Amino acid sequence: MGDTFAVIGSTLVYEGALLDLEVRTLRAPDGAVLQREVVHHPGAVAVLLMDGSDAVLIRQHRTAVGGDVLEIPAGLLDRAGEPPEEAAARECVEEVGLRPRRLTRLGGIHTSVGFTDEYIHLFLGEDPVAEDAGQAHGEEAALQVVRIPFDQLARQARDGQLDDAKTIVAVLAVAARRDADTGS
């Protein structure tokens, strides 16, 4: 028994291109035996990219949610050992053709602690310079770049008009830091 959770069994039921799925058996402190499905994910980065007073977002097809999503540039930590900062800058170039010259960490999020270990490192990107994105394929070939005044975007995030978790967290965190800096 004890006062901690013990993993007493594990079965890898799927190994995929992006995700692995494990069924894990736990013994809880009260003796209950539980099964939990755990989706293993490589982790990701996302960047609230500012160009002057505008935020630079994308509208992209996301088959998992059945439609287009307005979101900040983001991507997988898919190259072995790549530091999150480098991945963040790379994704900005690939998705919107801009490389931020300044990146500030905003912390990060566990997207859904009930079933996945996915963690997204969040950044504020500023002072961008244009850089050729090269040839895109699939979803990235079809994405649309959307510039929105940051104040308007922050109101949308506050009022429940956005629904992408990483985007809302980054936008509201930056808005709150700006409010704190201006002493309002």
Contact 122, 108 (CB under 8 A): yes
Instruction: Specify whether the backbone of 3 is left (phi greater than 0), alpha (psi in -120 to 50) or beta.
Output: alpha
For 11-43, give one letter per residue: b (16+ CB within 10 A) or e: eeeeeeeeeebbeeeebeeeeeeeeeebbbbee
Q: How far is the CB of 172 from its own copies (least distance, A)?
A: 4
Smaller CB distance to its own copies: residue 95 or 164?
Answer: 164
- In whole angstroms, how close is the CB of 169 to its own copies at the nearest point? 5
Instruction: Please identify every residue annotated as catalytic.
Output: 140
Q: CB-wise, 31 or 81, nearer to its own copies?
A: 31
**C-alpha to C-alpha distance for 137 and 139, rounded to whole angstroms:** 6
CB of 107 to its own copies, least distance (A): 2
Query: Please, which residue, 34 or 129, has the CB nearer to its own copies?
Result: 34
